[in-house]
A and B are shown apart, each in its own frame.
Chain A
Amino acid sequence: MARYLQSAGLLAVLVLGMVMPGWLELFTVYEITIYLIMAVLALSLAFVWGKGGIMCLGQAAFFGLGAYAWAVAATNFGPGLAALAISIAVPALFAAVLGYFMFYGRINDIYIGVITLAVTLILFNLINSTSGPQYRIGSALLGGFNGMTGVPTLAWPNGMPLDPGDIFRLTVIVLVAGVVAISLYLKTTPGKVTIAVRENEYRAELLGYNVAQSKLITFTLGGALAGLGGCLFANWGAFVSPTIFSLVQSAQIIIWVIVGGRGTLIGPILGCIALQWATTKLGTQQVVQVNLVLGVVLAFFVLVVPQGIVPMFTKALATLFGRKADSAAAEATTTETRP
């Protein structure tokens, strides 16, 4: 029953996404697109952290690398499929190399969090310092803290660039396809090993599974998805700047996942959209600083609602109707009991 509901919901979102740009004003389309692009990023962390149990605090690094890779590749080779492939391959490769050192070094959660965050911050500093004409890749100027402007937009095979409505539709497709692909992947054997590693790494290893390899695969796939999100981001604004590697950006991703609910895929997506809407609204007033609110929200959720909103609701609904908690809530609670 729940599965049919989920499929129907995804299909409805997909259909709605295809027709909505025709109904809305251009500005609204533009605004919703960025929410959805960030939701792709939230989904990538929901997979890596919520499903894989890898606490990556630097998911922004892959997002940023995807955006920069697109900008550089599209400037050099034209905004076609080759550039799209590069913008996914670069962050995936970066995740694979970083993951190799972390997972085969057998370091634990906390260290992974700290190292991924440190890598992100150092990328921020590195890109920030590339102002000046000598920092160019091919014909693409990196632009330092000013970022890269006039990034070419993805084009159809006939050379026509996608319009904002098309970018919106593409983002919806990526998001829905991402949810479906991850759900299907988790049903396969490697996907089940991913969950097993999250639940109990030691036991999975004793049962003969290659834990480091499994984590590396999860981490690389997550990096690729985040990179695709970054590519969409660069397409959306035709602009990339080092702030996508910043500490606040990294923190926001974590907050979306925490607020939405670790262990679910839909929770972080909803958390992302809701919080972005709220921060945009907060940004228009001058009284309270956005960071202050975000920080208090994060600390509050960790202390009071550590499982997140969506698992809390599914659990409450299940109790209300006297049924057994469905899989999402059950998964979320088991995640919580991990040491």
Chain B
Amino acid sequence: MDFASVLMIEILGSIAILVLISIGLAVVFGMMKVINMAHGEFLMLGGYVTIYGTNHGGLSFWVSALILAPVVVGLVGLALEWLVIRHLYGRMIDTMLATWGISLALVGGMTMLVGNTTTGISTPLPSLSIGAFSVSGYVVFLIVLAAAIFGLLYVLFKLTTFGLLARATTQNADMVAALGGNPRRIYALTFGLGAALAGLGGAALAPLTGVIPTIGAAYIAKAFITVISGGSAVIAGNLSASVLFGTVGQVFTYLYTPVIGEVALLLTAIVLIRILPQGITGRFFRRSI
């Protein structure tokens, strides 16, 4: 029984990690149909902001991870949207390639600034014991954080004016403009929101993995797979894909090795795309957000 609950927490933990890796990308893709190849680098920047805020800025880990990282990375996202992405709306492939350029440039720039070494930060929570086993308290925190992000996004999209406008812009940007809204500003803010969420995710994962300028590459494949398999509904899609892949990945990791877990995750995704080309929410939960 203890073992079952530990395994359950491990699986929930890997689901939460997938959510944290991919939710920023899901927001940008779901609301704007933009594939942001620099997403992995936004995660990386979030990690660096957290580590520098904690180790050099004298802030507590919680302040720098939960407030400073999303704010700074969100601002970086807004700046890049203004500089590059706003010129390319409606050209999906070009947007993807330009953001890949941004991604490479961010990796190169960070390598020049901090060097090509891993910087770490200690896990700020003690482990919890369940019967004869113990689980990392930090994993429990990640599960709570992922749930909180979903809750906040739900409130934002369902209950605020910005959310209403953002969902309307996704459906018909011209109509929003005709009714006096400003789709360009909505897009910019949505991109900033996606970047901020990526920053938060990267910050939360920094204690687990450490940070290195090239760490984005380690996240990006999983983030893409999750978002594409989820489909266009941000919350329902991301949640369902994360649950599926988190479970598959963690079970195979538990049975074999982490790499086999990753391969199993990819194979599941390729088969899933063959069956459901529009992603999970293209077929199920179609009316959700």
Chain A residues with a Cβ under 8 A of chain B:
55, 98, 101-102, 104-107, 109-111, 113-115, 117-119, 121-122, 125-126, 128-129, 246-248, 251, 254, 258, 288-300, 302-303, 306
The answer to whether A295 and B102 have CB atoms under 8 Å apart is yes
Additional A-B contacts beyond A292-B112, A295-B107 (11; CB < 8 A)? A101-B270, A107-B277, A121-B220, A126-B259, A129-B257, A295-B102, A295-B104, A299-B105, A300-B101, A302-B88, A302-B98
B217 touches A299 (CB 8 A): no
B208 in the interface (beta carbon within 8 A)? no
User: How many residues on chain B are close to A (CB under 8 Å)?
Assistant: 43
Q: Is B262 an interface residue (CB 8 A)?
A: yes
A298's partner among B35, B97, B112, B218 (CB-CB below 8 A) is B97
Contact B88 A303 (CB under 8 A): yes
Question: Does the CB pair B100–A291 fall under 8 Å?
Answer: no
Question: Among B7-15, B66-74, B155-163, B221-229, which stretch is in contact with chain A?
Answer: B221-229
Asked whether, in the complex, the Cβ of A297 is within 8 Å of the Cβ of B101, the reply is yes
Among A107, A122, A251, the most chain B Cβ lie within 10 Å of the Cβ of A122
Q: Are A258 and B97 in contact (CB under 8 A)?
A: yes
CB of B91, distance to nearest CB on chain A (Å)? 9
With CB as the reference atom, state the residue of chain A lying closest to B257: A129
Chain B residues with CB under 8 A of A105? 273-275, 277
A254–B224 Cα distance when bound, in Å, is: 18
B35 near A110 (CB under 8 angstroms)? yes
Residues in A neighbouring B218, C-beta threshold 8 A: 125
The reply to whether the CB of B108 lies closer than 8 angstroms to some CB of chain A is: yes
Residue among B92, B96, B101, B102 having the largest count of chain A Cβ atoms under 10 Å:
B101
* Cα(A107)–Cα(B277), bound, Å: 6
Taking the closest CB of chain A, its distance from the CB of B273, in whole angstroms, is: 5
Chain A contacts of B257 at CB under 8 A?
129
A299 touches B101 (CB 8 A): yes
B184 within 8 A of A: no
Contact between A295 and B108, CB atoms less than 8 A apart: yes
Q: How far is the CB of B264 from chain A (nearest CB, A)?
A: 10
Question: A296 — nearest CB in chain B belongs to which residue?
Answer: B105
For residue B94, which residues in chain A have a CB less than 8 angstroms away from its CB?
302, 306
Separation of A254 and B100 alpha carbons in the complex (Å): 10
Among candidates B108, B220, B221, residue contacting A291 with C-beta atoms closer than 8 Å: B108
Q: Which of A114, A128, A294 has the most CB of B within 10 A?
A: A114
Mark B85-117 against chain A: 1 for CB-CB distance below 8 A, else 0.
001100011101110111111111101100000
B97 touches A288 (CB 8 A): no
Contact A303 B111 (CB under 8 A): no
Query: Which residues does chain B contribute within 8 Å of A129, judged by CB atoms?
Result: 257-259
Q: Does B63 contact A (CB under 8 A)?
A: no
Q: Which chain A residues lie closer than 8 Å to B98 at the CB level?
A: 298-299, 302-303
* Chain B interface residues toward A at CB < 8 A: 35, 84, 87-88, 92-94, 96-98, 100-109, 111-112, 214, 217-218, 220-221, 224-225, 228, 257-259, 262-263, 266, 269-271, 273-275, 277
Pairwise interchain contact A122-B263, C-beta atoms closer than 8 A: yes
A84 to B88, CA, bound (A): 43
Of B108, B112, B225, B274, which one neighbours A118 at CB under 8 angstroms?
B225
Nearest CB in chain B to that of A103: its residue: B274
Q: Are A121 and B221 in contact (CB under 8 A)?
A: yes
**Contact present for B259 and A288 (CB under 8 Å):** no
A-B contact pairs, 28 of them (CB 8 A): A101-B273, A109-B93, A111-B273, A113-B96, A115-B273, A117-B220, A117-B221, A118-B225, A119-B270, A125-B262, A129-B259, A247-B214, A291-B104, A292-B107, A293-B108, A294-B104, A294-B105, A295-B106, A296-B101, A296-B105, A297-B101, A298-B100, A298-B101, A299-B101, A299-B102, A300-B101, A302-B101, A303-B88
How far is the CB of B216 from the nearest CB of chain A, in Å? 8
When the two chains form their complex, are residues B271 and A101 in contact, meaning their CB atoms are under 8 A apart? yes
Closest Cβ–Cβ distance, residue A223 to chain B (whole Å) = 16
CA distance in complex: A98, B267 (Å): 10
List the A residue with the shortest CB-CB distance to B90. A339
B87 & A292 in contact (Cβ 8 Å cutoff)? no
- B96–A289 CB distance below 8 A: no
| Cα-based distance from A247 to B96 in the complex (angstroms) | 14
Q: Report yes or no: B92 in contact with A110, Cβ–Cβ below 8 A.
A: yes
A291 in contact with B107 given A101-B270, A104-B274, A118-B221 (CB within 8 Å): yes
